[in-house]
Amino acid sequence: MQEYLDEVSSVASSIDQSVLLNVINELNLCSAQSGTIFVAGNGGSAAIASHFATDLIKSGYKRGKAIKAISLVDNVPLVTATSNDFSFSEVFSWQLKQLSSDGDIVFVISSSGNSENIRNLLEVASKLSLKTISLSGFDGGQIASNSNFPLITHSKIGSYGPVEDSHSIVCHYIALELRKF
C-alpha cells in the first residue's frame, strides 16, 4: 500500500504548479463573467469529470458566487443517441456545439491524453474560440499540445490507477481554491 501511495504522491506532485495556478485563475474569471465550465472524460475520467462538475457547482455555493459547470458525460440518453445517430467521436463535441457561449471553458480529463472524442471536443472548442484546459497523465498525449492550459500528471504509460487518483486530487484542489475567490 505504501508503494502505491508513494506513486500517487509522486504523480500528483509532478504537475506544473504555474499552469495549475493559471487554470484556477481562468476558471475563476470564467465564473465571474457567468461563463460555463464544460467537463468531459471517458471511463474513469468520466467519473472524475462528473464529480468535478459537482464540486465546482458546490464550490460556487460555498463562496456565495455561482460557478456554472456541466459534465458532458452525465446525460446518458443524449450520449447514447449521439453515439448511435452520429458517432462516439462526437458525443461531447456535438453537445458543446448546442450548449456553449462565448467566454465558456472546456476542461477535459484523459489518462492517456489520446481519446478521439476528447481530441474532437478540443478541436470544436478551438473553432468556437473557447479556452481549453486538459488534465492528462503519462506523457500528456495529444490533448496536451491541443489545449491552452495543459496539466500533466507525469507517470509511466499504463499506470492508470495512480493517474486517475492524482486527477481526483487535482480536481479537488482546484475546487477548494475556487472557494476562496
**Cα distances (Å, whole numbers) of residue 23 to 43, 56, 75, 132:** 23, 13, 26, 10
Question: Looking at residue 145, what is its pLDDT?
Answer: 97
Estimate to the nearest angstrom the gap between the alpha carbon of 99 and the chain centroid: 17
> What's the rounded Cα separation, in Å, for the pair 106 and 126?
10
- Read off the pLDDT of residues 83-142 as tens digits, 9 standing for 90 and up: 999 999 999 999 999 999 999 999 999 999 999 999 999 999 999 999 999 999 999 999
Backbone angles phi, psi at 20, to 5 degrees: -60, -45
Q: What pLDDT score was predicted for residue 74? A: 98
pLDDT tens, residue by residue, 138-165: 999 999 999 999 999 999 999 999 999 9
Span 42-70, average pLDDT: 96
Burial class (CB in 10 A: 0-12, 13-18, 19+), 18: exposed
Calculate helix-pair angle for 17-32, 160-178, nearest 10 degrees: 50
Q: Kindly indicate the confidence band of residue 28, based on its pLDDT and cuts at 50, 70 and 90.
A: very high
Q: Which three cell numbers stand for residue 117?
A: 472524442
DSSP at 113: S
Give yes or no for a contact between 88 and 72, defined as CB atoms under 8 angstroms apart. Answer: no
Each residue of 167-180: pLDDT tens digit? 999 999 999 999 99
The total of other beta-carbon atoms located within 10 Å of residue 1's CB is 5
Residue 39 pLDDT level (bands cut at 50, 70, 90): very high
- Run of H or E including 80: helix 76-85
